[in-house]
Amino acid sequence: MPCTALLSLALSASLLQTPQQDTTTYARAESLLVSGDLGGAEAILVRILGRDREDVTALVLLGRVRLATAGQSDWSWEAWDILEEAWELAPTNPQIPYWQAHVGLAVGGSNGEWAIRDGLYRIWNLDPSYRDTWEIWRHAYHGREELEQAVEILARHDGDPTADLRRAQLLIALNQYEHAERLLAGLVAAGHRDAAVWALRAQGALESGDTVNGSAYYDAALDAVATDSLSILWRQLAVIASPEEDSAHAATAPADREAFFRAFWQRREPDLGTAVNERLVEHFVRLRRARREFRLLHPQAAFHRSRERRNIVAYLSPAVFQRVQSLGVPGLLPTMSARLEADLQAAGVGTDLRQLPEPDSLTRYRRFGFDGRGLVYLRFGEPKRRYVTGGDVEAWYYEVGGEPMVGVFARATSSDGSAMFGGDMVVFPTNRREVEHSVQLLQRDTTSVEAPREVHAWVATFRGAAPGDHMVYVGVTPDSGAAAVWDGNWEPVGRVPGTSPFVFRLSAGEHRLGVDVRADGELGRLRADVSISDLWRERLTVSSLLIGALSDTGFTRDDAARALPGTRRLPAGAPLALYSEIYGLPTDSLGLAAYEVEYAFVPVGAGQAVRVAFERQARATPTVVERVILAPGEVPRGKYLITMTVRQRVVGREERTTLADVELR
């Protein structure tokens, strides 16, 4: 751990007191330690220990001085020995093993792992809630043996809410879901309403296949998200968050986080026609497998702690590139440009993993506890094809949005500088194309619920009954399924199951539209941003335009909406009924509104436009219905952009509405 971080931790450390020494002397030594005057602090402590070698307070402070000096010399283990001497004198003081755990953080590697865990186990025997020990635990390797030992220690505090909550979390990591559920249900029965309890109940249920209870528990956790003392809800999903979502969460106040989490999953819901969010369920199923197969084995390796080490590893790029070429991955076959790029890399100036930004002190792997394969698997699921060579290099092939995408992984975290490969798999792009793919694979995510059915749709807007309201029709094909609308912040506005057209009452502004349909057993999915224009302006405005194959001259708006298929393909040999509404028409002294309406069918591509115009006079009302039926054959076969223009000549006003890509066939 950097000295600055250790010194900042020292600010909050409490002083131990002994009757032999004035506490102001200890305070002076600690003040010098915090300010960076390590020599001055050590001089005071050496004098104290010269008089009394069993002064525990002085031993702890001297251990911390040695730890802070570790960046200048190899004194980390000397710090451990001094702290161990203090522990033998005061084995009930959790501050001593706390700093021993920090020795492990400073040392790193496998020895550091041992020191971290040994220090934490000692602390939890005394106090399972001590300081930030669980944050330190997240950055140490813990397989089944280590998890079971921690569970055994926490069981000694049975009945302590924090110990029971943490024990349940570890039991879930061990896939012991029934045991974890008993502990969590007991906390609920005892009146503990922390969102962390419900979040862990949800995780245990969803990972074990109990979708109904898991979804209900998760909803209860979101209801109480402001009380999530352990940030469990965020830690569960942070691994798949986009950079924008990561930043947004950090800036979101606890009182507003329920909306944040609900929006997070609503953006990802793959099938609006079902009772559960399959993407939420799928995430926890993936999480269980990722813990089993892609857990980070060496979180304390130098690769995760040192940008310099990552720079050295980057020079393996040409060797990785050669192995990737031998895999036969689609789209990555050797080409002239690829060979040129390999030569550049061999010279140390090529494209490599350094173009994937990592923070200076903590890689994304150590932050989340998964290797590169785990990070990508959690976001995109099982690859379409997986290529492996010798266990050192892998390539995963996906098709995302119909486009091929490849992630390359190589073992590159070994602390042994003599080994070409070793340690955990990390994302390891070796050319510009792989860098582009890797960035997307580490920032986006998707569901495994496929939606191969093609979806066509149209949106039409009309005034509603009350000022400010708009009736928005959404027509799709196939026409059986569900539609939902959210506002610009992903707050739900409405959800409608059934058949097309779907109707919503919306205000003007930006909205998100989702439509999922089923036909012949196949799912079709549509997600789009929709802008609703304000039709309540104090001037002439025109609604959207509907067109359908109708012959009844008294047809209504709903009739026209039902007659316009989602494909906007109509029979050329049938009557064409056009429907719209005009608002705010100026009137004369007799209360009449006179206007001209022109329909223009402009071919998409070559061809002659067809124009039909009418002079109208109607009794003025807030809404004037405009409809016309064109005889069969009046508009030839073809694809058209249809524009309706309304002109009010007295005051020189004109308004236009358009319906794009209507095909008569």
Please say if the pLDDT value at position 431 is more than 90: no
- What's residue 359's pLDDT? 63
Confidence check: pLDDT of 350 > 50: no
Residue 38 has a pLDDT of 94
Average pLDDT score over the chain: 88
User: Tell me, what's the pLDDT at 11?
Assistant: 34
Query: What are 154-199's pLDDT values in tens digits?
Result: 999 999 999 999 999 999 999 999 999 999 999 999 999 899 999 9
pLDDT of residue 10 exceeding 70, the answer is no
For residue 480, what pLDDT band results from cuts at 50, 70 and 90? confident
CB burial readout 94-112, b (16+ within 10 A) else e: bbbbbbbbbbbbbbbeeeb
**Nearest Cα to 372, choosing from 427, 320, 321?**
427
Structure tokens that stand for 113 in this block? 């792992």
Strand 623-630 with 541-542, pairing? unpaired
The number of helix segments (H) and strand segments (E) in the chain equals 25, 20
Sign of CA dihedral 359, 364, 366, 367: positive
pLDDT at residue 432 in the model: 77
What's the pLDDT at 323?
A: 75
pLDDT in tens, 461-472: 999 999 999 999
Q: What is the pLDDT of residues 85-110, one digit of tens each?
A: 999 999 999 999 999 999 999 988 88
Residue 495 near residue 483 (C-beta atoms within 8 A) = yes
Query: Six-digit token pair at 395?
Result: 């390539």
Indicate the helix (H) or strand (E) that contains 386.
strand 385-389
pLDDT for the residue numbered 221: 98
Q: What is the 3-state secondary structure (H, E, C) of 485-510?
A: EEECCCCEEEEEEEECCEEEEECCEE
What's the DSSP call for residue 461? E
Task: Give the pairing type, strands 653-664 and 638-648.
Answer: antiparallel
Q: Structure tokens of 563?
A: 């007659």
Please tell me the predicted confidence (pLDDT) of residue 353.
Answer: 66
Local confidence band at 79 (pLDDT 50, 70, 90 cut-offs) = very high
> Of the candidates 285, 431, 427, 271, which has an alpha carbon nearest to the alpha carbon of residue 345?
431
Contacts of 44 (CB under 8 A, 6+ apart): 25, 28, 29, 32
Residue-level pLDDT at 330 = 66
- Could you report the per-residue pLDDT of 244-267, keeping only the tens digit for each? 999 999 999 999 999 999 999 999
The rounded percent of the chain whose pLDDT value lies above 70 is: 89
Phi and psi torsions of 335, nearest 5°: -135, 170
pLDDT at 81 over 80: yes
Residue 3 has pLDDT above 50, yes or no: no
Q: What is the pLDDT of residue 448?
A: 95
Q: Are 357 and 418 in contact (CB under 8 A)?
A: no
